[in-house]
Structure 1
Amino acid sequence: MLRWPFLVACLGLALAQSPRWSGAPDYFAVPGSPTPAGSRLDRSYVLSFPAQGAPKGTLIMVPGFLGGATNFEALARRLVLAAPGWTVWAWDRRANGLEDRQGFALPDPWAYYQDYRLPDFPFLKEWGLRVHLEDLEQLVEQARREGPVVLAGHSLGASLAALFALYRGERLDGLILLDGAPRLLAVDPRAYLEGAQGPFGRLPGLNDLLSGRTPPYVAAFGLGPAALAQAEAQAFMAGLAPEADAPPGWAPFRSSRLAAALYRVDERYSLLPIFSVSAGQAVAREGLSLLGLALGRLVYTIRGPRGGRVEWRDTGEATDPLEFVRLYANPITGFSEWFFPYRLALDIAAFEVVLPDLRPRRLPYPVLALGAGRGLLPRNEDFASARAFFPETPLEVNILEGLTHLDLLTNRHGAAIGPIRNYLEGLHRAHP
């Protein structure tokens, strides 16, 4: 007799959401490093979630490879309540200002981005590590007017945040690494200039970039600007009407908008672990992905139900599927950096060549590192490069089990909130 009430209660606990701020964040520009692009584009952007309570400081969050500001929205909405007094700034790097987001104001953004003609941005090849560190310096200085500043980077953004700590670490009051570390990528000086052969083909070098032999933005493995724009359009429309029929072209089977938007990024079906979340499961016939097996991963494909359409079921996993798609994109910014400068990724991988003055240093504050149990850095020893970068600096490593690389930011239970809140409170007690 008690079985069903017990199961319902368990499901309710599984789906429970941690409290989150429900207001509308501000979005504003911050002047950046001068380049040939001109002052209109020499700026970065902030999606700002205001402090709740007496101000204590600003947490600046740096997105990773191909990442945009709304990577952090689920986390930021929870954190401003859990850590009263801390403002959260989710950073959009300068390339986000190149995105044509007019389609999100139209009834059918998907149709708009089907014919998205990519503009030519020759100045992108100049937007490397030095430019982005100088942009970040401007951002940090603006935030410092209001109090202490803590930098938090996710994935490749953790590498960029760590390099900023080498560059201007004295301007910070704390550093957080989110499933990322200083040495995620590394290339030698020759490969930096001339390119190198990788497991999926040749990786261009700086000479290829400067000569125009390779595009100035990342455009590989189906992750170019048009594909990223279309993915945001799908998520945006799915958030508005999740149960509506997906338009033709969204998926190779009949499905709801929600199912079509999620099946490429859910960890059960995604071939790319760094872009996957645990958001439920399709209601459909499934098969094993041969490509996934070739890559050494157990990945499923969706064949679609006979005589029906594919639906999506929230199974209580880490990330809430509806919240995920509704926070993925909006008319001003989104989950992706469509025109991610190839120069930036290249420079981070060979920062000693680009900025030889950067050297390991002791920081005057502790570093917090959070790994994801099913992400990039699932073990304490994966953060060894942080110890090498910051010798004699206290490093607290906390592995959040069961989370994918993106679940760390998007999970409904706010698993990362407690460690971040405790870290911020510790900094405030040390420097009230």
Structure 2
Amino acid sequence: MTGGLPRRTVLGGLVGGLALTSLPTGPAVAAGWDREPYVPLAVAGGGGPAGSDRVHVLQVGPDTAHTVVVLVPGMFGAAGDFRLLARDLVKAVPGVQVWAFDRREENLADRSGFTTADPAGYYLDGHYGSQDPATSAFAARWGLARTMEDLRTVVRAAARGGRRRVVLGGHSWGATTAMAYAAWDFDGRPGYRDINALVLVDGGVRGAFEGTGQLVHNSPEEVRERLAAIEGGAVFDMTLTGVGLGARAESTQIWYQLAGWYAHRDPDGRSVLQPRMPDALRPPYPVTNGGLLGTLVDAGFGWPNDISVHSGHLADSGDVRGWVDTGITPISRVATAYAGGPEAAVWEWYWPSRLSVDLDVVDPYADTDLARSLGLRLRHTGGLDVPLYVFETSYAKGTIVSSARQVVANSHIPYGRYEADDGMNHLDPLFAAARHNTLTHTLAPFLTGLR
């Protein structure tokens, strides 16, 4: 979902900012898309627990489509990031289906509590199954090479033996992943031979994130230190614990999904979660379920660009203050996405630290000694010859597009389409109302124009 705090620290400084201040419904069903299957695909063994040698794709749109857009979520993101965007794209572009990719790590999450009447009790009272880093040494090997092989299974399944076009893209570090795939060497075959176009949404390579002011930690010395920490047991990225919502790798993600779940089902009811929030994050007056979600995601409460949207504000008065939509991303859209369920959620619980290391090392987009030492097969960066679409928000202050232009200048990409909307934050393109979503409006004609 995000590029990270530094590049991975998506939530640094949030406490002070806040203290200052099942089945799809609605349009999807109305349009006849009442089936959005969450399909498992078998992948090579990775040494994890039973049931983890598979990935999933959330499929939105007609199975008869001649073009499949495979989208990869960013850091701490999951397939549910793309559900609303996918519905909007499928409505806008006939003959397109969207496959949202869930990495194998999603198999580690216990989401069964979201099928109960009291998910807050299930999770906040500690009844769920948590993945213990001490018994998860297998995750030390779940880096980019593993993700590339898993993603290739998805890309080849989408292509159906070459009978369908495949457009590969992603958001934030998902865009970086897509670029790595295009340059990857699969036993002598370049990854870009598997696809017909690339789509980068607020991410990429070659300094794409420089404008955020967050450093890429990929010097040989830093990489050695990070790998040593992983071998020492730090197999999951723990940076989201800095929010103050719990000490486990998954704590923050659970809180966000809970907030979405209650806001989706009873937006105007008094917040179920507010009494259980840490003091530093609890609003100082009673709020509704929708209001609480708004305080956790809206940029107006001091959240950084990485994890915020432009939604609205709390009502100025009332015994229980509700949410007032004034921005491009209605809180109901965020609630629908965040609510998730036992399948296709928005937040990934267990992000492997090794994947963070590898994606930092990929940033120069070159077949370096360091990349080779980590098994990163970036051997075809100069050969890329498929069209490229790039979209940037205010997040990186222009470096998403400028870095993509460098890629085009140093490859055989026939043309690039570059779009920007400085009125959007990093997550707005995923959840904004279709009529306000510049990503949808500009990506649709790019997809329509592919031949």
Counterpart secondary structure, 2:424: strand
Within-5 A mapping of 1:160-199: 160-167=177-184, 168-183=191-206, 184=209, 185-194=216-225
| Aligned match for 1:90, one of 100, 103, 111 | 100
Task: Give the alignment of 1:26-175 within 5 angstroms.
Answer: 26-37=37-48, 40-51=51-62, 55-116=65-126, 118-120=130-132, 121-145=136-160, 146-167=163-184, 168-175=191-198
Measure how far apart 1:377 and its partner are.
4.9
Q: Distance in 2 between matches of 1:272 and 1:355?
A: 34
Q: 1:160, 1:182 within 8 Å by CA — same for their partners in 2?
A: no
- The match for 2:292 is 260
Give, in whole Å, the separation in 1 of the partners of 2:309 and 2:125.
28
The residue aligned with 1:410 is 431
Does the residue aligned with 1:402 lie in a helix, a strand or coil?
A: coil
- Whether the 8 Å CA contact 2:73–2:174 is kept in 1: the answer is yes
SS of aligned partner of 1:401: coil
**Partner letter of residue 222 of structure 2?**
A
Q: What is the deviation of 1:69?
A: 1.0
Match of 2:22 in 1: none
Instruction: Give, in whole Å, the separation in 2 of the partners of 1:43 and 1:388.
Output: 37
Instruction: State the Cα distance separating 1:237 from its structure 2 match.
Output: 1.3
Q: In structure 2, what is the Cα distance between the partners aligned to 1:358 and 1:243?
A: 50
**Whose radius of gyration is greater, 1 or 2?**
1
Tell me the secondary structure at the aligned position of residue 423 of structure 2.
strand
Contact 1:65-1:156 within 8 A present in 2 as well: yes
Which residue does the alignment assign to 1:199? none
User: Structure 1: which amino acid aligns with 2:299?
Assistant: E
For residue 29 of structure 1, report the CA deviation from its aligned partner.
0.8
Percent identity between matched residues is 27
Letter in 1 for 2:130: L
Question: Does residue 239 in structure 1 map to residue 249 in structure 2?
Answer: no
2:108, 2:131 within 8 Å by CA — same for their partners in 1? no
Give the alignment partner of residue 356 of structure 2, picking from 324, 337, 345. 345
Deviation, 1:417, is 1.8
Contact 2:70 2:98 in 1 (8 A): yes
The more displaced of 185-194 and 175-184 is 185-194
Deviation at 1:399, TM superposition (A): 0.8
Q: Report the Cα offset of residue 382 of structure 1.
A: 4.7
Q: State the Cα deviation string for residues 329-384 of structure 1 (Å, max 9, x = none).
A: 22312110011111111111114242354132232221110111x22354642534
Corresponding residue number in structure 2 for 1:201: none
| Cα separation, 2, equivalents of 1:386 and 1:266 | 33
Gaps of 5+ in 2: 1-26, 185-190, 210-215, 363-370
Partners of 2:92 and 2:202 lie apart in 1 by 21
The equivalent residue for 2:385 is 364
Length, aligned pairs only = 377
Alpha-carbon distance in 1 for matches of 2:73, 2:411: 21
1:375 to 366, 382, 395: 395
Residue 219 of structure 1, CA deviation: 4.0
Match of 2:238 among 218, 221, 239: 218
Q: Report the AA paired with residue 117 of structure 2.
A: P
5 Å matches for 1:196-345? Answer: 205-212=226-233, 214-220=234-240, 221-222=242-243, 224-247=249-272, 248-250=275-277, 251-253=282-284, 254-284=286-316, 308-315=319-326, 317-328=327-338, 329-345=340-356
Distance in 1, matches of 2:325 and 2:217, equals 39
What letter is aligned with 2:395?
A: G
How far does the alpha carbon of each residue in 1:75-97 deviate from its partner, in whole angstroms, 9 at most, with x for none? 10111111111110111111111
Partner amino acid, structure 2, of 1:165: A
| AA matched with 1:265 | V
SS at match of 1:403: coil
Deviation string for 1:4-57 (max 9, x for gaps)? xxxxxxxxxxxxx999765231101111232212662111111110228x5221
Q: Aligned-pair distance for 1:311?
A: 1.8
Seen in structure 2, the aligned counterparts of structure 1 residues 334 and 392 have a Cα distance that, compared at 3 Å, is: closer
Residues 337 and 431 in structure 2, CA contact (< 8 A), matched pair in contact too:
no
Q: How does 1:9-28 map to 2 (within 5 A)?
A: 22-28=33-39
2:386·2:413 contact (CA, 8 Å) conserved in 1? Answer: no
TM-score, L = length of structure 1: 0.81
In the alignment, which residue of structure 1 is the partner of 2:444?
421
1:397 to 395, 418, 435: 418
Does 42-51 or 326-335 show the bigger shift?
326-335
Structure 1 alignment gaps of length 5 or more: 1-16, 195-204, 285-304
Q: Which moved more, 1:414-423 or 1:259-268?
A: 414-423
Is residue 179–residue 377 contact of structure 1 (8 Å, CA) maintained in 2? no
